[in-house]
Structure 1
């Protein structure tokens, strides 16, 4: 009789159980050869095999669900929706998986935001163009000063979404950001991450102010390209932290 993947798990004794659980589950999935579409063992069985509470397993799976790695089906179980593997380099498994999840997220954002900036360049009022220009100037000044920039960045992009004339653009992008929770220790959440992507923000703002949708889309692609390149450097081990 086939034993299934649970025999690949061993009780966890480390105090950092959350990270250890995710590492152990990724290793189990890889060794068992589970693929996208396969069902994971029940939460209670995983908890028993690892010697942890079911709430610990549920928390770990909640994190994976937010990263788009699994999907829960009511009354049917938990299924893999993306490739999961254990890390074999200097980075923890969760850093690699998180980086790959962000790359998938950026694929979606590229499609949505391309349309967003084009519509902004076409539909923005004179007052909205002036606001976008001012918010960009403020954002870049904050970045250059080495100060926390996330709020200013969010305000700049929110103004672009508002200028499209369709509130759904901003709502969709906000929900995407809220659904993806980066870990505190992640190199993708430190203040210095993504700094190379800020200079093209000026080009994006200028294109919207000028009413040039092609230039706005080109600037948006440049921004995302730079973020993607930085993520790949991290997960390929060329840059850590």
Structure 2
């Protein structure tokens, strides 16, 4: 259950990070604190030298992550601290980590419940699809020649489909993309969570065997490992 990044080029990732860095720097320079309004979109676009649509997308995603609140009449208000309070951890790194941990906290109970429902409700055909998606993921991962993230997406989509409730897939991926719409390559590491991929085999096998408690336990371990990795990266200041 790696927190996948959308495919992107190195250049696109660098340009995106540059916009984020400049926006954070502007917030610092202006002394904007939690509860304060940000300048209007057009003003931000002009000052950062980017298109208004770029600023709008950044602010929209920051709203989804709880960094800002937006109101058509009141403008955009800062909801989370982005001032430079840590000497050892770069501001943009800390902001990414805190945002990812917030989205991860919301996603966690949904993923665990989805696995429980899939284990309980999956048809024989759906269990075979989950096992097939796991085999595909493991083959790509172990070969080390291709990007395993699309296969990981297909594996989890098969689990969400087996719940019998399409809202799980919709809501979980809305949460997922709220972060990755801005941070396409979190911490400059497009394969964050790679260490959890081997755990996907026993997860698929537990679901196929109808072992709900084991499937939920493995899912919790995967989620814990990803969060631990995020916190370790933040502490190292990479």
Normalising by structure 1, we get a TM-score of 0.78
Aligned with 1:178: secondary structure?
Answer: helix
Question: Helix, strand or coil: the match of 1:198?
Answer: helix
SS of aligned partner of 2:130 = helix
Superposed displacement of residue 144, structure 1: 1.5
Distance 1:105 1:41, change over 3 A: closer
Calculate the aligned-residue CA RMSD, in Å. Answer: 2.8
In the alignment, structure 2 segments of 5+ residues that lack a partner are 1-16
In our comparison, the structure showing a higher alpha carbon Rg is 1
Match of 1:67 among 65, 68, 72: 65
How do 1:193-232 and structure 2 match up within 5 A? 193-232=192-231
**Post-superposition offset of 1:86:** 2.5
Q: Do the aligned partners of residues 17 and 171 (structure 1) sit closer, same or farther apart at CA in structure 2, a change above 3 Å counting?
A: closer
TM-score scaled by structure 2? 0.79
C-alpha separation in 2, matches of 1:189 and 1:102: 13
Give 1:57 shift: 5.3
More helix by share: 2
User: How many Å separate the matches in 2 of 1:211 and 1:76?
Assistant: 51
Aligned to 1:6: none
How far is 1:54 from its partner?
8.1
RCO (CA 8 Å, sep 6+): is it higher in 1 or 2? Answer: 2
Is the Cα–Cα contact under 8 Å of residues 96 and 187 in structure 2 kept in the other structure?
Answer: no
Which residue of 1 is the match for residue 23 of structure 2? 22
1:43 lines up with 2:40 in the alignment: yes
> How far is the alpha carbon of 1:22 from its aligned partner?
2.1
What is the number of residues matched between the two proteins? Answer: 219
Per-residue deviation, residues 61-87 of structure 1 (Å, max 9, x unmatched): 345334330110110122233333326
2:13 — aligned with what? none
Point out where structure 1 has 5 or more consecutive residues left out of the alignment: 1-15
